[in-house]
Amino acid sequence: MTGHPPEHSEPAADPPQGAASADELRGRLARVRDEVAKAVVGQDAAVSSVIIALLVRGHVLLEGVPGVAKTLLVRSISASLGLDTARVQFTPDLMPGDVTGSLVYDSTTGDFTFREGPVFTNLLLADEINRTPPKTQASLLEAMEERQVSVDGAARALPDPFLVAATQNPVEYEGTYPLPEAQLDRFLLKVELALPERDQEIEVIRRHAEGFNPSDLAAAGVSPVADLADVLAARKSVSTVQIAPEVIGYIVDIARATRSAPSFQLGVSPRGATALMNSAKAWAWLSGKDYVTPDDVKALALPALRHRVALTPEASMDGAGADDVLQGILTSTTVPR
């Protein structure tokens, strides 16, 4: 039965004396949403996605038109978690060394020393990542996958946790370089930030009318409600979440269906199926469960898979969207009982 813990699952071990329990950790991470809400109206799904990515060592691609608070959202999450953060504005003339760091000649010693780039942080905001050439985009691949950068043959480890939150504009294509499939596949989730509803937009304007300054999060009341230790402890707790063989099979069936869908010329790889499983485990844990249900899989299917598929030209011309096709696959795939 998939609505209950898998057979033979071990009960969660009690936390060491003095350590926070799973419920306490969940409570602290839930308060992150409240802190972010002091600066950002709505966008709860995006906040949850960044938290999920932190819990399973993933990265997030945030897509939305200018002005929907993508940058502010990432800065607010970082402030509420007390994590180190850095921002890189990706431009056509940005070089790989501007992101990863480079060797700098020290005239006093006559030696070259390594100067760390902005990638040496906990949360890297890669703003408008599709505005820089492929060579610079690729400089992030090793960092995202291996959690290190290599300069002059030497590998240098990045901090833990390390998360890339990249943003891109979905409607402006002039002067942009679309991310290649290999790099898109490195993002755990792709979140589409929609324009706010009318009442939400009224709240945004009201806050600005009362003097809200997006550059001053402290003045908005955003403060740390969790810390690095909480993130690492929560990550360990998420790893104990159980998933039944039937639910694993359900995930595989969804992935395989994307490969045979007539509207897709590129389906989901095994890495994508693994990303969906890990995301569903984190979502189940955040929801207070120690096992994954098919509903958890459905909840994360679109953000975990939409950037890992490619429509055929015919489907694009017919106005089909990746989410529409994926939703059809979810509807037609047999759900385990």
Per DSSP bridges, beta strands 60-63 and 163-168 are: parallel
Q: Rounded mean pLDDT of 3-28? A: 65
Q: Is the pLDDT of residue 288 over 90?
A: yes
Number of H helices, E strands in the chain: 13, 11
- φ/ψ of 142, rounded to 5, equals -65, -40
Residues with Cβ within 8 Å of 282's Cβ and at least 6 positions away in sequence, in order, are 51, 52, 55, 56, 238, 241
Token duo for residue 261: 């869908």
Reported as a single tens digit per residue, the pLDDT across 188-209 is 999 998 888 899 999 999 999 9
Domains of the chain: 14-238 (3.40.50.300), 241-337 (1.10.8.80)
The neighbour count for residue 280, using CB atoms within 10 Å, is 28
- The pLDDT-based confidence of 9 (bands split at 50, 70, 90) is very low
Please state which of the ranges 44-58, 91-105, 166-180, 184-198 shows the lowest mean pLDDT: 166-180
Provide the mean pLDDT of the chain.
87
pLDDT of residue 124: 93
Q: Mind giving me the DSSP string for 224-246?
A: -SS-HHHHHHHHHHHTT-B--HH
Residue pair 49/34 in contact by the 8 Å Cβ criterion: no
Q: How far is CA 310 from the centre of its chain?
A: 20
Angle at 240 between CA 230 and CA 225, to 5 degrees: 15
Cβ atoms of 133 and 91 within 8 Å: the answer is no
Percent of the chain with pLDDT over 90: 48
Q: How confident is the model at residue 18 (pLDDT cuts 50, 70, 90)?
A: low
* pLDDT attached to residue 71: 83
Please check the confidence at residue 113 and state whether its pLDDT lies above 90: no
Angstrom distance (rounded) from CA 260 to CA 268: 10
